[in-house]
Structure 1
Amino acid sequence: MGSHDGLRAIVTGGASGIGAAIAAALQDRGATVAVLDLQPSVAEDVFSATCDVADDESVRAAVTAAVDALGGLDVLVNNAGIGAQGTVEDNPDDEWRRVYEVNVLGAVRLSRACLPHLRRSDAASIVNTCSIAATAGLPQRALYSATKGAIAALTRAMAADHLREGIRVNAVNPGTADTPWVARLLSTAEDPAAERAALEARQPHGRLVAPEEVAEAVAYLTSPLARSTTGVDLAVDGGMQALRLRPAG
């Protein structure tokens, strides 16, 4: 028996990186999974649909198709997101709007479309993929950090709003993870190897976070065995937020 046997889950941004690892972890535990992505997954035994989280019509159509395919809904993982670099001076208004449309309003749109279905579940939960950027000041991440700070606050507000409806809402806060987006970011650096080493050294455990480690946290947060866990942002960051180690050597 798996911890998620019988559960039906939607994972946005589930075709690659952290989202793909989350979809696989939930499926391994017995859940039936639907992946919603701009470029849907072709994985076996996973329903996939094209979804632009920045477009409400696209979201509602994809959610309807997924819920029909799954036969209901128990779990929503709001994982879709995009990155942004720069200080508060570096991005024009249009870029601020674009990133907020995906990272914040994307989660709003999915949650709004899924809540009527989640209310029918006996094991309903939502997990929002947040970030260490919501809880620690990182250089050159003003816009990205602002969106993830909004997700952290939104998670707590949603948890309060929907607790008595039987819907738990939590967030997972990864540190810098070994994902395709980070790989693309490193590829643009003057010295990719040195930049990767700096990112690894910034995290107390000395390496990038594996997507599978984030997926394990999401599996816990969405499990019916975690019914008393709500309104939480669970750090998966190698101790970056909480620990203050003395310099090595």
Structure 2
Amino acid sequence: MKLTDRLQMIADGIRAGETMADIGTDHGFLPIFLAESGICPHVIMTDISDGSLTKAETDLRSAQGEGNAELEGRTELRLGDGLSVLKPGEVDVVVIAGMGGILMTEILGADPEKTGSFGRFILQPRNNPGRLRAFLLDRGFRITREQIVRERRFLCEIITAVPPGEVTEPGTRGKVYGLDPVLTAELDYPDALLSVGISIGTEYLRLRREKHEQVLAAIRGNARMCADRQAELEETRIRRIRELEERLVKES
């Protein structure tokens, strides 16, 4: 099975011999590939949608029919919500990809003790990565890697994070995200983005800066909008991105 570049980058973050669970697996392409290639001795495909899990089951049977009968002993399908279908510490790596960042915080925050029992999370949010980072840092996670990969016309962010050894009192970044312009901009665009490579990093930052410039222009162009705080936030994001763009060129 050949993966998209996005799924391949996630797969590359999983080491040989590790077990994994794919939360919201949909077609199940990633875990099937990991089991089929022998990277993972055991994978768990989960989804809250019965229809999506049926698609994964169909794809699994198709892979088994192509001479991979041993997949049956390496794979499991589980219907359920978030991490509730997993036992504490049951797998080494949990992948949550293609969901919104806020939904990811809800999944990770539902049972902090269970969340902390897994070795590593690979997260690919469709939106709100800054709010997701705020959640992770508030809960004591250590963000070990930031990546960006192209998928069709989208540039997708992949965040790898290690949970803390024990549940601690949450921090305050999440509470002031969106209120404190400087903190918000730094969470949306952390220094770690400088490590993604100059080509895709430059493109990503330029596209995000242009988006914020469009939002700022719309705010300023509407005389009826009382959005001074939102304008300040967009201005701060733009300054932050420009700073990273300059540093990316210099450090490369």
TM-score range, shorter chain: 0.3 to 0.5
Q: Which has the larger radius of gyration?
A: 2
- Normalising by structure 1, report the TM-score: 0.42
Tell which has more relative contact order, 1 or 2 (C-alpha 8 A, sep 6+).
1
Higher helix fraction (1 or 2): 2
